[in-house]
């Protein structure tokens, strides 16, 4: 079966002098239901959540809204090549306003999307009812997390960033297959089906192709390697947190998640659930288990959406 990419819709928002934010909803917006915002991982886009779009129980409970983060998919900043994860969080909140999404939302994010859930909750506590980070970390990329079994981002990403840093135009640029296969193996695991692997290699090379693509890829990699940590700010998260983490995650370890979930000291319910056999991009590889946990969490706290 051929994997068909979803068709996203551009929403214009004013942040950074104007952003074309790429969004996807698998069904028309229903204002009688709360909304679950979906934030993608590094190098992916709205298609990361294709299994969730097909889950009838989840779609009956909430509206699903995927927003492709800055540098990813079809999202484009009009006036700058520089952006941070905070900019993506602000963009996401402005998308909610532009789409006239009612009430509080829940936010789910995978890997980098996980720390985006926290940023959105911090910037707009009046808009977020609960967060669901998956396979993520709340820290900077540092020696502490490496000692706990997480990857070494500086070692893994620095040569790539340096190779993508140039003043010369690169109209024929394309992320090498070696890089794409490394991302696939890190995210989806060594057992990713051939068809899925090929789909994501093509998606990465298409989205980050050409001179503009190289600049966006470089900035995304810089953000991943050099981002600010959130440990000191987790005190200010006052919504329920469901952290899902695979025990086969080779990027961020369960041991790190076990330490960091304890930092949500003012959350009324901060829970870490470990998914057996789950790699890094958990929602894609263990959709059944993830969707069941998400439905349970949403059902418990859905009244907090206050439509």
Instruction: Flag whether 75 is in a domain.
Output: yes
Instruction: Flag whether 203 is in a domain.
Output: no
Helices 210-226 and 153-163 pack at an angle, to 10 degrees, of 150
Within 13 Å of residue 117, how many CA atoms lie on the same side as its CB? 33
Q: What is the pLDDT of residues 186-224, one digit of tens each?
A: 999 988 999 999 999 999 999 999 999 999 999 999 999
Q: What is the CATH number of the domain that holds 143?
A: 3.40.50.1820
Q: In the prediction, which pLDDT does 23 show?
A: 98
- Overall number of domains in the chain: 1
DSSP letter at 78? S
Closest CA to 72 of 208, 274, 227: 208
Instruction: Flag whether 258 is in a domain.
Output: yes
User: 3-state DSSP call for residue 198?
Assistant: helix
Instruction: Flag whether 179 is in a domain.
Output: no
Instruction: Flag whether 180 is in a domain.
Output: no
Tell me if 105 sits within 8 A of 31, measured CB to CB: no
CA distances for 87 relative to 23, 83, 120, angstroms: 16, 6, 10
Instruction: Flag whether 185 is in a domain.
Output: no
Return the H-helix or E-strand segment holding 273.
strand 270-275
Give the confidence band of 1 by pLDDT, cuts at 50, 70, 90.
low
Tell me if 220 sits within 8 A of 43, measured CB to CB: yes
Tell me if 117 sits within 8 A of 39, measured CB to CB: yes
Quick check: 2 pLDDT over 90? Answer: no
Query: Which residues constitute the domain of residue 248?
Result: 9-151+229-302
Q: What percent of the chain has pLDDT over 70?
A: 99
Instruction: Flag whether 262 is in a domain.
Output: yes
Give the confidence band of 21 by pLDDT, cuts at 50, 70, 90.
very high
Instruction: Flag whether 212 is in a domain.
Output: no
Q: In the prediction, which pLDDT does 237 show?
A: 98
Mean pLDDT value across residues 86-103: 98
Tell me if 287 sits within 8 A of 258, measured CB to CB: no
């Amino acid at each position: 079966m051929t994997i068909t990419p979803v068709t996203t819709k551009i929403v214009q928002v004013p942040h950074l002098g104007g952003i074309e934010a790429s969004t996807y909803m698998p069904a028309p917006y229903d204002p009688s239901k709360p909304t679950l915002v979906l934030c993608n991982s590094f190098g992916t886009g709205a298609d990361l959540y294709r299994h969730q779009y097909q889950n009838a129980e989840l779609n009956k409970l909430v509206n699903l809204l995927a927003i492709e983060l800055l540098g990813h998919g079809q999202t484009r900043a009009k006036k700058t090549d520089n952006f941070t994860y905070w900019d993506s969080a602000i963009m996401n909140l402005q998308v909610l306003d532009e789409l006239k999404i009612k009430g509080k939302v829940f936010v789910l994010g995978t890997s980098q999307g996980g720390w985006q859930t926290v940023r959105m909750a911090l910037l707009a506590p009046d808009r977020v009812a609960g967060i669901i980070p998956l396979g993520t970390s709340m820290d900077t990329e540092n020696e502490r997390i490496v000692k706990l079994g997480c990857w070494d981002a500086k070692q893994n990403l620095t040569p790539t960033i340096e190779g993508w840093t140039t003043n010369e135009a690169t109209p024929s640029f394309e992320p090498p297959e070696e890089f794409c296969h490394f991302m696939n193996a890190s995210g989806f695991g060594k057992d990713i089906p051939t068809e899925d692997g090929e789909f994501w290699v093509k998606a990465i090379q298409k989205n980050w192709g050409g001179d503009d693509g190289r600049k966006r890829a470089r900035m995304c990699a810089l953000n991943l390697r050099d981002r600010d940590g959130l440990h000191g700010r987790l005190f200010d998260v006052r919504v329920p947190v469901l952290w899902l983490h695979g025990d086969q995650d080779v990027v961020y370890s369960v041991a790190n998640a076990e330490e960091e979930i304890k930092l949500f000291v003012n959350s009324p319910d901060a829970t870490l659930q470990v998914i057996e056999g789950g790699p890094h991009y958990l929602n894609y590889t263990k959709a059944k288990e993830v969707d069941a946990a998400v439905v349970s969490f949403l059902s418990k706290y859905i009244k907090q959406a206050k439509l």
